Structure 1
Amino acid sequence: MDSPAGPLAFALATPTGDDLATAVAAFQKTPTALPLQCGVQHYGWGDPGFIPALIDAPNPRGLPFAELWIGAHPDLLATLQLGGWRLSLAELISAAPETMLGEETRRRFGTELPFLLKVLAARHPLSIQAHPTREQARDGYQREDAIGLALTDARRSYRDRNHKPELLVALTDFYALRGFRPLETIQAELSAAPELSALAAPFRPTRAGLFELYHRMMELDQAAVDTQLRPLIERYRREREGQAFDPGDRRDWLLEADRLFSNGRHCDRGLFSILLLNLVSLHPGEAIFLPAGELHAYLRGAGIELMANSNNVLRGGLTRKHIDVPSLLETLQIRPGPGAVLQPQPQPGNGADSYLTPAPEFLLERHTLSAGEERTIGQGPPRLRLGLVIDGQVTLDTGSGVPLGLEHGATFVIPAACRGTLRSTQRSVVFTARVP
């Protein structure tokens, strides 16, 4: 990304810094929507095709494009142009918090944007993981600071002090593991596999018994992990030789994860989680919400992610990254039951579909416009909105400045001080994120 090396104060201290101060003052007087330039995280599990096609980025080397970050998290800041200057979204919010965030958001969350919007595209399974509460994040961050772990240290689990409730809306068929299966289902799964008899025998089908089972699985020595899992994997391989599994069969995911993450001699203990968690299949437009402590893993597909402005991940396997079992067990919530799927809800009066969650930091809205349709966004209390055009072509007019022409893959910010009018030239789909 092409973003400034330091905060806005650094830019203002340069010989021509008054020009930037003038540009910010003019923007505060006449705010308008601005296009964003956003960066990509190239994690190894990323899909090489979906995000490049969305943002029209050639990828001749087939690199993994895992996440497009649209927001103000310091790990990967969106940038914008203002009066000939390039600065980050975070810097503009810091310089003009009332204009950008609005008085209510600033009072509730301070001068930082409280949410982060992403596009995620997974070709291979992500790690088994959960996210901490705000209190756990604060304590973990301070604990890792105290032992001298730099924020860039690969052994670090807590990269900020915030919690990370998370919403995922499928853009393609999407597969995920989400939350523990019902207790009786787990008991039946263990009892049906003679290879797991050593784990099945002491299991009590209660929430406490499930925590004890998962705790025991995560703290087994490696020889015991191999003894439990290797015979089961070999049996599943033989079964697949006779009949191919489909993506709705967890045996297929267990074999795929074993191929990717076990090292040939030893089994990855994250494979246990595939047996214990709900396997969820989402169609485009369907969603899942993940509160703090909810064990999960995204397996394959592309989607919109919206979360509190955090990058804290506590991993328990299926990854080459840092695994932090004690922190994961500390934050883990045991809520056995079927994997709930969230459907979009039509909102009367504004034409959008909303994804309603208990998170106080964010709300995601989907605007589906037919050719020639016009829609006003930004009604109600002043709120900053981040936006992404997923399909089609629109113009965005906030009544000041030149209307923005936005094609698929375009990202933008509408300050809280503005209302915007979307006009579509063809059938278009636009997602916007804001504080509820």
Structure 2
Amino acid sequence: MALAHLDNTVQRYDWGGLEAIQDLVGLPSDGSPAAELWLGAHPSAPSRLAGGTSLADVVAADPDAVLGRRVADRFGPRLPYLLKVLAARRALSLQVHPRPHAARAGFQRENRAGLSLDAADRSFHDEQHKPEMLVALTPFEGLAGFRSPRAVLTLLDGLDGKLVEQVREALGRARSAVGLRAALEVLVAARGSAWCAADVEATVAGVRARAGASPSQRADATVLQLAEQHPGDPGALVSLLLNRVSLEPGEAMFVPAGEVHAYLSGLGVEIMASSDNVLRAGLTTKHVDADALVECAAFAPRPPVRPDAEVVGTHSLVTTYRAPVEEFALTTFDLDPAEPAALAPDGPRIVLALDGAAQVRTEAGSIDLARGESCLVPHAAGATTVAGDGHLVCAWVP
């Protein structure tokens, strides 16, 4: 089976950037957002090969050739990962991705309820969990995982409001994961209440007023940013419960299933288990399922997870990022013409050119990639190298 160019879907979510993905793939910058570029075989937006054939259909027709027996035996006749380029101009929703058992149960429950797969009020779009890893291409900002209760109480000191007081009470009863769960439940349950927006705005005014004496200027700036983007949404106050994350280009973060998080701004390459299951609790105009989010969330306080990264190369710089999951790994290539580099030796590989130009080479042939172009390297292609002066990213199965 030969190398094949891919045609990929651009998702136009309202939080998306106005230039980054457009520039990458050659779309006009007409003022409409482009949030994500999807490369993979997820049924809701599969990549397509020449002639319009879905990558999902190609995998199903010959899983041994595309995936290889090792991957097909482990995951069945499906591509286990989904690669994305993500461009956030404003904050994404406050969200959690379910663990495997919760994804299966939720998907079957909504099927029995008669919800179509594209229903606006559907939370579970497939049976898969969705751990994910993001590698920053520009400075990237986010929220991920819970702060310690003590740190949260410090940030709340001096702030007024009914919700803030209820959060203090919850953490006062239990300075543990139990208290953090109760605090989150207080905040997400208030969404839509007649008094909620005014109460949130009163607390936000207190955050604004303490600018010179804040226990954390960055945490307060996040509250103000989210309150401006989503006025009256208690998700702005949820940010005080969560760790603030800043990534420089080349740095990465791993978000396991069950971790409450929200990406705030920046451009990155994201890889995940092939799923579109997102449980939202705020900071969005999309369907909110706060009960499902709370049930699926992990509340133990811990710092954000930084995946392992291995760097090799003399002239070319090859960086491989590994997370503690079976479905995916990611390698970036900053190529020098003097030193070709090898891809992972087997399994399904997807290569995307982020900049410059490169050639993907196998014993049977080669394919040229310009900026924004991508290709499938099937298992049957065997040993594969990349050469040129491009900046590439390759998704693969460890």
Coarse TM-score class (shorter-chain normalised): over 0.9
Matched, 1:75 2:44: yes
Counterpart of 1:417?
A: 380
Aligned-pair CA distance for 1:253: 2.4
Counterpart of 1:397?
A: 361
Using the size of structure 2 for normalisation, the TM-score is 0.92
Preserved CA contact (<8 Å) 1:286 1:343: no
Q: Which amino acid aligns with 1:197?
A: E
Counterpart of 1:434?
A: 396
Q: Which amino acid aligns with 1:201?
A: E
Aligned-pair CA distance for 1:331: 0.2
Distance 1:356 1:329 in 2: 28
* CA offsets 1:244-303 (integer angstroms, 9 cap, x no match): x9x9723222222222222xxxx2121221111111010001111111110000000010
Secondary structure class of the residue paired with 1:367: strand
Distance 1:199 1:109 in 2: 42
Distance 1:358 1:202 in 2: 33
**Identical aligned residues as a percent:** 36
* CA offsets 1:372-404 (integer angstroms, 9 cap, x no match): 32123243xx21101111122111121224x21
- Give matches, 1:101-120, under 5 Å: 101-120=67-86
Matched, 1:200 2:168: yes
Secondary structure class of the residue paired with 2:341: strand
Counterpart of 2:223?
A: 254
- Give matches, 1:315-334, under 5 Å: 315-334=280-299
In structure 2, runs of 5+ residues without a counterpart are none
Preserved CA contact (<8 Å) 2:136 2:268: yes
Preserved CA contact (<8 Å) 1:362 1:433: yes
Matched, 1:42 2:8: no
Q: Which amino acid aligns with 2:141?
A: Y
Preserved CA contact (<8 Å) 2:344 2:396: no
Counterpart of 2:258?
A: 293
Preserved CA contact (<8 Å) 2:159 2:206: no
Counterpart of 2:96?
A: 130
Secondary structure class of the residue paired with 1:53: helix
Aligned-pair CA distance for 1:134: 1.1
Preserved CA contact (<8 Å) 2:166 2:186: no
- Give matches, 1:21-420, under 5 Å: 31-59=1-29, 61-81=30-50, 85-195=51-161, 196-203=164-171, 204-220=174-190, 222-223=193-194, 225-226=196-197, 228-238=199-209, 249-262=218-231, 267-342=232-307, 344-346=309-311, 352-379=318-345, 382-401=346-365, 403-418=366-381, 419-420=383-384
Query: What RMSD, in angstroms, separates the aligned Cα atoms of the two structures?
Result: 2.2
Q: Which has the larger radius of gyration?
A: 1
Aligned-pair CA distance for 1:139: 0.6
Q: Which amino acid aligns with 2:145?
A: G
